Amino acid sequence: MMLAASKALSHKNEKAQLIARDPSKNPEELLSIHPDNFRLTPSEIKTATFRPKKWFPSHGPHVGRLIIELMDGKSQEYQFENDGDMDAAMKHLSQLLAGKVSAE
């Protein structure tokens, strides 16, 4: 199983956004939509931590953040624009990454 992140949702290309939002799409198809898309397997993830929103956000308004620490020591931060997306991420990642997910 893998996680696929899609930058297409943050771009103005409507066709790419529709493809990225279609739950029936194979995640492998999302990789070709935008050059910044990538594949991240659960075995590459050391920890996943949900944190509250930043007081002074630099990338726009958001309700919370996800910090993913990788096995190679690098980390990635994602921001959630609404509670529904953050709740869904917490639910699914908790199941997928059993024992690696925490909330602060």
Identify the burial level of 28 via C-beta atoms within 10 angstroms of its C-beta, where 0-12 means exposed, 13-18 middle and 19 or more buried.
Answer: exposed
Could you read off the pLDDT of 53-94 as tens digits, one per residue? Answer: 877 766 777 899 999 999 999 999 998 989 999 999 999 999
What is the DSSP annotation of the chain? --EEE-GGGGSS-HHHHHHHH-TTS-HHHHTTT-TT-EEE-GGGEEEEEEEEPPSS-SSS--SEEEEEEETTS-EEEEEESSHHHHHHHHHHHHHHTTTTEEE-
Could you read off the pLDDT of 13-44 as tens digits, one per residue? Answer: 666 666 767 778 787 877 887 788 888 899 99
Confidence at residue 22, expressed as pLDDT on a 0 to 100 scale: 75
pTM: 0.71
